Amino acid sequence: MDPLAADLRDARSRTLALVSDLDDAQWMGPRLAIVNPMLWEVGHVAWFQEFWTLRHARGRAPAIEGVDALYDSAKVAHDTRWDLPLLDRPRVLRFLSETLERSLEVLGSPPDTAAYFHKLALFHEDMHGEAFAYTRQTLGYPAPPVGRAARPGEAGPLPGDVDVPGARFLLGAKRGDGFVFDNEKWAAPVEVAPFRIARAPVTNEEYRGFVEDGGYRDRRLWSDEGWRWRTLAGAQRPVYWDESGQERRHDALRPLSPHAPVIHVCWYEAEAYCRWAGRRLPTEAEWELAAATPEKRRFPWGESAPDDRRANLDGRAGGPVDVAAHPEGDSAYGCRQMIGNVWEWTSTDFAPYPGFVTDPYKEYSEPWFSSPHKVLRGGCWATRARLLRNTFRNFYPPDRRDVLAGFRTCAP
């Protein structure tokens, strides 16, 4: 089987695994600003694949009349998605299945550029798969039936910093790197001064020290915007922690894993922790240099694709593992887990690189440059390995703590 066809089938299998065990009421869910109704989101995945691989790339007609008015995310306001005359569950699953088969039938046929759009649909579905995973957490649904049911073994903490020499460094993707998104293009030189960065992300145990020391009550630790967010949110600890030292994972409480990375914290929380600890967040240039070295490499460990030894990805572990796990995935400077486990906030505003030009999917990056978004790097336990590389940029508003994000720190 064509490797791309195999990946497309794999992505669809993962999508179905992440939603099929839920009932119709769960597919609709409550109206919240940070989630989509799954009934809409599943249909959107099918619509996106049809639009780009069949309609845009090959001029085919839509399979369902009026489908754009239901599932085009650029035109359908988020708050209206619960009120639309959506396809019912059997029909949306049929739309999903039939679109995949029609897309696979034309895979490899002219025009030559069409393979780009099949890859775009693949990675788009992978991103929504991660969204399904954290939506299940947000809404208190059972853990997704993918990955290991048992907890992975304890690997422990990984304290300390590594020294990264200063360098003139090419930030971003280089031509010839294969499929990359427009916000990664193209590599341009930046000057990075010498710095020290943590070997691992901040752990639950370390973050608990901030909470217990009154970090959420100390106005001095928060920026004006951060304190405004904290006050409005009523935040006193990470969103899924309770007062007894437990955290909610999906539909169950469990003791905090002390050496797992803190997860589901927003940028404002990361910023305040850094101020409390006398540290700072890395810039995205520092992060990428620490992961890649000045000579560039696709992954922290080199060019070989991620596997179970090197990174916690693809949902296989069912959640974050201890920060000392996966030593085989260390960067050349000695940083661990720069790919997988938790997304890492950086201090950098999401903005275009010099000479930015939009790709055909214009809504992917450009609309978000002018709004307050921060860059995250590295992927998380639920991210598909095929999506990632050292240059991949994720981006969220600084108040989002439903996403699978943590952070590592730098010396001041």
pLDDT, residue 290, reads 98
Cβ atoms 354, 180 nearer than 8 A: no
Residues 6+ apart with CB under 8 A from 365: 181, 182, 183, 352, 358
Residues 187, 340, 298, 124: what is their CA dihedral angle, to the nearest 10 degrees? -70
pLDDT, residue 149, reads 47
Q: Which of 168, 200, 173 is nearest to 186 (CA)?
A: 173
Cβ atoms 410, 348 nearer than 8 A: no
pLDDT, residue 358, reads 98
106 φ/ψ angles, rounded to the nearest 5 degrees = -100, -5
pLDDT, residue 147, reads 75
Q: Could you give the CA distance from residue 274 to residue 326 in angstroms, rounded to a whole number?
A: 25
At 329, is the secondary structure helix, strand, or coil? helix
Q: Could you give the CA distance from residue 358 to residue 356 in angstroms, rounded to a whole number?
A: 7
The vertex-123 CA angle with 121 and 127, nearest 5°, equals 115
Residues 6+ apart with CB under 8 A from 389: 173, 177, 180, 298, 299
pLDDT in tens, the chain (412 residues): 799 999 999 999 999 999 999 999 999 999 999 999 999 999 999 999 999 999 999 999 999 999 999 999 999 999 999 999 999 999 999 999 999 999 999 999 989 899 999 999 999 999 999 999 999 999 999 999 887 644 556 899 999 999 999 999 999 999 988 999 999 999 999 999 999 999 999 999 999 999 999 999 999 999 999 999 999 999 999 999 999 989 999 999 999 999 999 999 999 999 999 999 999 999 999 999 999 999 999 999 999 999 999 999 999 999 999 999 999 999 999 999 999 999 999 999 999 999 999 999 999 999 999 889 999 999 999 999 999 999 999 999 999 999 999 999 999 9
The vertex-327 CA angle with 198 and 157, nearest 5°, equals 50
CA distances for 30 relative to 14, 136, 239, 267, angstroms: 23, 12, 18, 25
Q: Which of 157, 412, 169 is nearest to 290 (CA)?
A: 169
Q: Could you give the CA distance from residue 230 to residue 163 in angstroms, rounded to a whole number?
A: 33
Total residue length of the chain: 412
Name the pTM for this structure: 0.97
